[in-house]
Amino acid sequence: MKRSYVIYPISYIVVILLCGLLLAGLVGCASTREEEAIVIWHWMTDREEAFQELARRYEEETGARVRFELYAPSDAYQQKVMAAAQARALPDIYGLLGEKRIFAAFIEAGHVVNLNPYLEKGGWKDLFFEKALAVNEFSPGNEYKVEPGIYGVPVDVMNIQMLYNKDLFKKAGLDPERPPQSWDEFLACGKRLKEAGIKGLVGGWGETWMIDCLCSNYAFNIMGEDKVVATIRGDVPYTDPQWIEVFSLFDQMSKEGILIGGIVTMGNKIAEQLFANERAAFAFNGSWCVNVYKEMNPRLNYGAFLPPRVTDKHPMVVWGGAGSSFLVNVRSKNKEEAIRFLCWLTQRPQQVYLAKETLNLPVNKESLAEIPPILAQFADDMKHVIHPNILPVQELPRVIETYTKGIQAIIIGVKTPEEVAQEVHAVKERELAKARGKR
């Protein structure tokens, strides 16, 4: 892997002062560092070389050693973390996979440091994209009854958008520099591509969370955030005409022949291969795809754009926020040094290096001017980001499962949008009744 070294003489001094001031009132100027290394667990094995280089630089600059231990696949990694939590044997820093309720359970069990006191010192908090921190934040009055605060440090950000192949657009007689902005334009593009013998949209929709993602994008666009939240609370039924309109978009894409065959059983890795090999003109994928596509086809000529809006009444939003985060173990003997390292890791020089080496969006807002152009297209739309975990309420898992599988059934033509709406409504009512009975 080619290494990029960026030197910022003035910024280097600022970083040292910032991280020193951050902990001055808590650890004292004369504190001694533990001789043992700071141990970090994560599942990002594709970034091992970059992380090892950063560990080397940190030791060179500060004298403190850092050891990254990366594990894959993610399921095995999560089992390792769960077992370590039960044995109270978590490392100094670790990543956590799973829903927000799992995050809350780790906090309640005393496995995670509340980072608010550290983030508020020296302007550290101001470096981050707001939505990135929000994913790791528990607000006052949260449904999990967790003490308010920010419990994780994001090391990158991400969002999920539409992608299009510029060369296939040109082949179909479409403007390669103008992706569709509206739903009608999207359908018209799909028709032109079909006439040219080019497949339309590919996505890993065998993984239902990706269907949930696009479905919620259009729910926010068609009915607005307040009505979506009201639905989650149980005040608006899924049989509402606007929810049927959302489900009908998938029916329309299927009937217009825009969706690639087999999309409802396709894993995202296969979908990425098809788009990278220019077998489809559109893809629905996250900013992590920049690194994936580079490995699969370095010559791929493509761009990113927001999902085409159905209406101008409400903004189009995309899922996004923190891509990967690090948590600090409350019981760590190296807790203060671990936090000092995370402060250093999120400064501009390190974030620029990570963005260039791993092709993931940096979490530091000051780093954006130095990232690759395709990543900049994703970064430009961070202002449109939302995520279920930062809403005041979260939908019940059984309800999400019902409407995502229902959308799969709509796509293959075995159910109508109205039938799916009725099924989701029935499950929602049943799950709400169960929740009330437990109170």
pLDDT of the residue at 439 = 58
Residue 2 lies in a domain: no
Residues 285 and 356 in one domain: no
Q: Rounded to the nearest 5°, which phi and psi values hold at 94?
A: -155, 160
pLDDT of the residue at 273 = 98
- As beta bridge partners, residue 68 has 40
Residues 326 and 179 in one domain: no
Three-state DSSP class for residue 330 = coil
**For residue range 227-272, what is the model confidence (pLDDT) as tens digits?**
999 999 999 999 999 999 999 999 999 999 999 999 999 999 999 9
Q: Which amino acid is at 381?
A: D
Residues 299 and 370 in one domain: no
Which of 198, 214, 208 shows the shortest CA–CA distance to 265? 208
Mean pLDDT (whole number) for 127-140: 88
The C-alpha atoms of residue 359 and residue 372 are separated, in whole angstroms, by 8
Residues 413 and 276 in one domain: yes
Compare 121 and 187 and report the one with higher pLDDT: 187
Residues 425 and 358 in one domain: no
Residue 133 lies in a domain: yes
Domain that holds residue 430: 159-319+392-438
Report in angstroms the alpha-carbon separations of 274 from 176, 262, 267, 295, 434: 19, 12, 11, 13, 43
Residue 382 lies in a domain: no
Tokens of 68: 């990254």
Residues 73 and 211 in one domain: no
Q: Which residues contact 313 (CB under 8 A, 6 or more apart)?
A: 222, 224
Angle at 392 between CA 390 and CA 397, to 5 degrees: 80
Confidence grade of residue 217 (pLDDT, cut at 50, 70, 90) = very high
Supply the CATH number for residue 277's domain: 3.40.190.10
Residues 170 and 131 in one domain: no
Residue 264 lies in a domain: yes
Residue 242 lies in a domain: yes
Instruction: Please give the tally of structural domains in the chain.
Output: 2
Tokens of 97: 């996979």
**For residue range 375-402, what is the model confidence (pLDDT) as tens digits?**
889 988 888 998 887 788 889 999 999 9
Residue 1 lies in a domain: no
Residue 406 lies in a domain: yes
Residues 62 and 190 in one domain: no
Residues 312 and 431 in one domain: yes
The C-alpha atoms of residue 166 and residue 175 are separated, in whole angstroms, by 8
pLDDT of the residue at 132 = 83
Question: In the block, which residue shows the tokens 């998938």?
Answer: 250
Q: Which residues contact 254 (CB under 8 A, 6 or more apart)?
A: 410, 411, 412, 413
| CB neighbour class for 371 (10 Å; exposed up to 12, middle 13-18, buried from 19) | buried
Angle at 154 between CA 348 and CA 296, to 5 degrees: 85
Confidence grade of residue 75 (pLDDT, cut at 50, 70, 90) = confident
Residues 20 and 120 in one domain: yes
The C-alpha atoms of residue 200 and residue 193 are separated, in whole angstroms, by 7
Contact in structure between 32 and 6 (CB atoms under 8 Å): no
Residues 100 and 235 in one domain: no
With 70 as the cut, is the pLDDT of residue 146 above it?
yes
Confidence grade of residue 438 (pLDDT, cut at 50, 70, 90) = low
With 50 as the cut, is the pLDDT of residue 137 above it?
yes
Q: Domain ends where: 375, 400, 415? A: 375
**For residue range 320-360, what is the model confidence (pLDDT) as tens digits?**
887 889 999 999 999 999 999 999 999 999 999 999 999 99
Report in angstroms the alpha-carbon separations of 351 from 37, 253, 369: 22, 39, 12
The C-alpha atoms of residue 433 and residue 373 are separated, in whole angstroms, by 50
Average pLDDT score, the chain? 90
Mean pLDDT (whole number) for 38-58: 95
pLDDT of the residue at 109 = 97
The C-alpha atoms of residue 95 and residue 87 are separated, in whole angstroms, by 17
Q: Which amino acid is at 138?
A: F
Residues 302 and 425 in one domain: yes
Tokens of 48: 């091992």
* Residue 73, preceding peptide bond in cis (omega within 30° of 0): yes
Residue 387 lies in a domain: no
Mean pLDDT (whole number) for 197-210: 97
| Percent of the chain whose predicted confidence (pLDDT) is above 70 | 92
Contact in structure between 392 and 374 (CB atoms under 8 Å): no
